[in-house]
Structures are given as structure tokens and as C-alpha cells.
Chain A
Amino acid sequence: MAAIVLDRVSKTYPGAARPSVDGVSLDLPEGAFVVVLGPSGCGKSTLLRMLAGLETITGGEARIAGRRVNELEPKDRGCAMVFQNYALYPHMSVAENIGYPLKVAGVPRAERAARVRAVAESLALSEHLARRPAQLSGGQRQRVAIGRAMVRAPRVFLFDEPLSNLDATLRVQMRAELRRLHEKLGATSLLVTHDQVEAMTLADILVVMQAGRVEQVGAPRAVYDRPETRFVAGFLGSPPMNLMPGRVAEGGAAVALENGPPVPLPGRLPEGLPVVLGIRPEHVAAGGPHTAVVEMVEDLGSGRVVHARMQGVPVVLHAPAEGRMQRGQALHLGLPAARLHVFEAESGRRREPEPLPATQAALAG
């Protein structure tokens, strides 16, 4: 168990104009399950690999359990890693694969065998110990990779997109398994993924990255409910948040979209400020001053996702599974003020409307 501290950690590859990881600072408590989420190429894997010691850190400092690890060999950092494509040793049996870290560490044969058996037991691999990786299914290989990471009882678990090679059913299963393992082992886990469902379900702490920088850090729920930047708002959520450009109008009390009636804000913003208005599909209300035309309906079974065009702007909303909803149908929609997110158009940062003075609030209400 160990806390991980990253202090302005950067990685610039030789000859690259821009750093791949650009001054990332994170303070991750001991025993947390941290998920780093971001689109491909955002530097999340590089960050993980720097922590593991597979890439050199070109700027800043990484500390594990209070110790600077920049210069340490991977084996001295107390991390174990699970790779995306499992990276199992093809010429070794499952037992040899799992036992390899112990063999390298010079653990006596008898103890090694016992520990391998225990790990295999907990991962339901006992029957496959004599097989080669090539004779296993994807899920089994993944479990072997996890077993190999577990067997050394590391302080830190690093997962590099561990579930992305599995099929959908298996992924859900392994996700639960990972979470269960994390609770059982109590080590600090750091998982990198581009799958937001994985991120939302696994994380204690969610780190959203883009273009080498950390966009937001927080509990998944908090990040979802209150995205700090337009990028996070548009990245997290499926389907993603509706984002509509506009300008603050009506003395700062509302946002004028390109067309249609102005959208009242829950507070006040400077008049004329160019903003991007965000609202999640599940918060778009049926019935309201806005008119929209249905363009496409996706039936998910439990509900429907409706793609509509609201005064020329594309809008996605959730609709119940029952009732009439078809292409070309006209809708009336409302954008409840309490559910709105406002981002500055220029910087992309969240802008919280200033609360109205009590009297005005009473009048407005």
C-alpha cells in the first residue's frame, strides 16, 4: 500500500515539439482505485509507464510511498503492471508465468508453488496451471496476467487498458472482478482506459486527461455532475452532454442561442459573454418553450435515445421506452435552469453564474 504523488511530471520525447505529458500533478491516497480516462493519444499510457519505470520522466518528480522513484529501476518501485495485450511469456506454463516474479526474487521453490497455487485459486485458474498461454481463452489470459501481478503482493497495481481486448460480456465480468480484487488486496490501483463506463464504475478517483494535461480530478459522480471544462463535459457521458454555443443576454440572466427563445440561467453572468451551454440528455425536459424535430430514435430497450434538431441545433435526449416517438415528430423541450452547465466559449472553463440576490431570486422564482 502506498500513496502516489506526481509533482509536475512531464514527458517530452526526443525531437517532439510538444510534451506528451505536460506537467501533471496528482496526489493519490493509499489504497485508492484511480482511473485515468482520456481519448487515445492524451498521454495517459505514457503517464502510467513513467510511473512504472518503463519510460523516463523528463520533468518533475514521481513519489511512491514518499520515495522519489524517477531514477529507480522498474523492479525497485514496488509496482506490478497488467498490460493491454497481457504480455504473458509464451514459452512458460501458467504456473511458471504467475511464479516468474517470485522466481526472479529468489523465493524458494516450495513457497513459490504454494503462493502460485493460492493466487491461481483466487482467480479460478487452478485447473489450467500446466497450460501454455496459447491454449487459454482471452479472459483466462487476462486472469493469468493479473495473477502474475498479484503474486508479488505489490504496493501499487498499474493497469494499462486491461479490459480492452475482451468481448463485452467478459469485460463486464472482469470489471467486477478487478474491483473485488482491489478491495481484497488493498493496494493502490491505477488503471488507464478510454472506456468511460469502466472509468465510472471502477474509480474512487477519476482523472480525466486530454492532450497531456489533467482536465479534472475527482470522484466519478462529482466529475460527471460538475465537469470543470467543456472537454470533460463532452467526453464523459453516453450519449455525451449537449453543448450549444450562445451569448449571455437579457442583462445577464439568460443565454441567447442561435435561434429560439433565450434560455434562463440559474444566476447572473456578464452581459454579452460568449458561452457554451451544456445539458445532459437525461436532463432535457419534455414540454417547454423550445421546439424540436425528431431526426432519429435509438431504442435501448430500457429507454430511448432521441436525436433531434432544436431550432437548428442538434440535441440528444432520453425518452421513456413507451409512448409515441418517431422521425419527423415535433417536440417541445425545456432546458431546466438548475441542470445547465455554462462554459466560457474561449477558455472552455466552467463558469458558475453568480447567484441572484435574495429579493430578485424571489421575484424571479
Chain B
Amino acid sequence: MSNTRRALFRSTWLPWALVLPQLLIIFVFFYWPTGEALYWAFTLEQPWGGGNAWVGWQNFVSVFSSAGYWHSVRISILYAVATTVLAIGVALLLALFVDREVKGSRGYRLAAIWPYAIAAPAIGIVFRFVFDPRSGVFAFLNQASPGMWDPTLNGNHAMTMLVLAGAWQLVSYNFVFLLAGLQSVPRALVEASAMDGAGPLRRMWDLQVPLLAPTLFFLAIINMTDSFTHSFALVDVMTSGGPARSTDLMVYKIYSDGFKGLDYSGAAAQSIVLMLLVVGMTFLQFRFVERKLHYK
């Protein structure tokens, strides 16, 4: 590697001092809690504090043998897949439109990323109003036939609502990546396919989408990871895991089991499982996105 770009320090303490704040933050907010959770997962914590007992794999055994946990895993996967598909699909459509019509309009791109900057609880509150069965946008459905739309009573409706809100936020993030990806498709290629007789839709399907494959795969992983971990605020604000645990996603279940059910050890075991899941998916991404799906 080149030595020219490496900064040279005469003293040994200065570089350490410069990295120290960052290291401290990472340690205090990431490694320490993770380590603590790992420890708790193998012990039985008392709800009101005051000592614990080493129980080995017992927490994991009880988590994995609980039907409620597997239900939570199933709906979490459902939520993650649905949100990802919807968010990528809509973002792709928007990006294709923008790429065709207003090439290079930076202002629009900036405006489109704003939803990603909105805190999830705020989104949750807004969507709660939007989807409110009595006063929301879809309230007219209940006028036509009572109970046709009620996320507070119907689990499927609640899940749909969560997926829509989750996807809404991810769309903006995906849009930026997809638009950038589309604009890096050489113009001549698009023109060549136009000369070859392909209409706009055909060009999207045969050319732009395949060439976007690396970006799409990257976004799929990011969205899935995001859906597994960041869905907490949405669930907490919009459904609190209900009705009847129909939106009790893994990340929310950790919170409710731990802080409401006061089962710290079970929650810690669940966090470790979730963490391994996310680590696994990140590994997949690095392993495959970097290697395959590149045509160069």
C-alpha cells in the first residue's frame, strides 16, 4: 500500500488521544451493553435487582421453546420482507421516473431524503392519525361496512399499517441510492436500447434493473436489517404489539418482555439472537455484494 497517504505522528500518545473519544463512545454505548446483555443471557436476573444466578443455556432453551417467540420471529420476517419489497419497489419506480424526467435535479433528491430524517415515533404518530379507523383517511371504509378497516382490532390491518409506515420511511433512503445507481448507468446504453427498439418500460426491465442489481441487493440487506431493529418505535407508538400480539415483532418483544414483563434474562437472550441474526445478514451482504453481481 502507499505510504504517502499515511499521516506520521512523532509521539505515540497523540494518535491515541485523538481516537480515544470515539473509542470511549463505542465502548460505553455499544460494547458494554452488548457484553452486559451477553452476561444476562446466561444468568437469571432478579427483577428488582440484587444478585443473579448462572443458568447456562436455560434462557435460550426457554425462549426457543416458547410458541410466542416463534410467532414473533414469523411476523418479524413477514414484516421485514413486506417492508423491504414495498420500499424498494416504490423507490425504484420513483427513481426511474425521476431519472427519465428531471435528470440531475439535486433539489428534488434532497427533498426526497427528508422522510428518512424524521424520527420513527413521529412517523408513527402521523400514521396513527392517517390510519385511524374513525377519523383517518380510510374511515370511509367503515362507513361503507363497519369493521372493514380497523387496525386496533384486526391484526392483519395493524400489520399492514406498520408495513406501510415502515416502508414510507425507507422509500426515501432507497430512492437516493437507486437514483444514483440509475444515473451511473451509461447514457449510451440506454440510448442503444432505445435504438434497438425497446420502449421506456422495456428499457427499465431489461437494462436498468439488471444493472442496478448490486444496488438492489445492498438495499435489500440494509432494509431487512433496518426492519428487524428500527421497527421498535413504530410498533411502540402505533400498536404496542397488539391487537392480540399480532404485531409483537422481535425487537418490541425484547422490550415488552424485559421492561414490562421484567424478564431481563429472557429479553437479553432474545437480544443476542436478534444481534446474531443482524450480524449474519451483514456478513451476507459483505460476502456477496462485494463479490458477485458486478459486471465489470
Give the interface of A toward B (CB within 8 A). Answer: 52-54, 73-75, 79-81, 83-85, 87-91, 100-101, 104-105, 132, 134, 148, 152
Given contact pairs A75-B199, A152-B196, a sample of 17 additional A-B residue pairs in the complex whose CB atoms are under 8 Å apart? A73-B194, A73-B199, A74-B194, A74-B197, A75-B195, A79-B195, A83-B188, A84-B188, A87-B186, A87-B188, A88-B192, A90-B296, A91-B295, A100-B196, A104-B197, A104-B202, A148-B192
Q: Which residue of B lies closest to A154 (CB)?
A: B195
Alpha-carbon distance between A52 and B194 when the two chains are bound, in angstroms: 10
Size band of the interface chain B makes with A:
20 to 34
Q: Is the interface of B mostly helix, strand, loop or mixed?
A: helix
Residues of chain B lying within 8 A (CB to CB) of residue A85: 186, 188
Residues of chain B lying within 8 A (CB to CB) of residue A53: 194-195
Q: Are A89 and B193 in contact (CB under 8 A)?
A: yes
Q: Are A134 and B195 in contact (CB under 8 A)?
A: no
Q: Are B196 and A101 in contact (CB under 8 A)?
A: yes
Residues of chain B lying within 8 A (CB to CB) of residue A54: 191, 194-195
Q: Are A101 and B197 in contact (CB under 8 A)?
A: yes
Give the interface of B toward A (CB within 8 A). Answer: 186, 188-189, 191-199, 202, 206-207, 210-211, 213, 295-296
Residues of chain B lying within 8 A (CB to CB) of residue A88: 192
Instruction: State whether A134 and B295 are in contact (beta carbons under 8 Å apart), knowing that A87-B186, A87-B188, A91-B211 are contacts in the complex.
Output: yes
Q: Which residue of B lies closest to A158 (CB)?
A: B195
Q: Are A52 and B195 in contact (CB under 8 A)?
A: yes
Q: Which residue of A lies closest to B203 (CB)?
A: A104
Alpha-carbon distance between A75 and B22 when the two chains are bound, in angstroms: 57
A sample of 6 cross-chain residue pairs with beta-carbon separation below 8 angstroms, ordered by A number, consists of A74-B197, A75-B198, A81-B195, A89-B193, A90-B189, A104-B202
Q: Are B197 and A152 in contact (CB under 8 A)?
A: yes
Alpha-carbon distance between A52 and B188 when the two chains are bound, in angstroms: 13
Residues of chain B lying within 8 A (CB to CB) of residue A81: 191-192, 195
Q: Which of A88, A91, A134 has the most CB of B within 10 A?
A: A91
Residues of chain A lying within 8 A (CB to CB) of residue B192: 81, 83, 87-89, 148
Q: Which of A73, A81, A84, A87 has the most CB of B within 10 A?
A: A87
Alpha-carbon distance between A247 and B211 when the two chains are bound, in angstroms: 63
Q: Which residue of A lies closest to B191 (CB)?
A: A54
Q: Are B197 and A105 in contact (CB under 8 A)?
A: yes
Report the minimum CB–CB distance from A131 to chain B (whole Å).
Answer: 13
- Which of B191, B193, B195, B206 has a CB less than 8 Å from the CB of A80? B195
Q: Are B295 and A74 in contact (CB under 8 A)?
A: no
Instruction: State whether A132 and B191 are in contact (beta carbons under 8 Å apart), knowing that A91-B211, A100-B196, A101-B197 are contacts in the complex.
Output: no
Report the minimum CB–CB distance from B282 to chain A (whole Å).
Answer: 26
Residues of chain B lying within 8 A (CB to CB) of residue A134: 295-296
Report the minimum CB–CB distance from B208 to chain A (whole Å).
Answer: 11
Alpha-carbon distance between A89 and B196 when the two chains are bound, in angstroms: 12
Alpha-carbon distance between A52 and B295 when the two chains are bound, in angstroms: 28
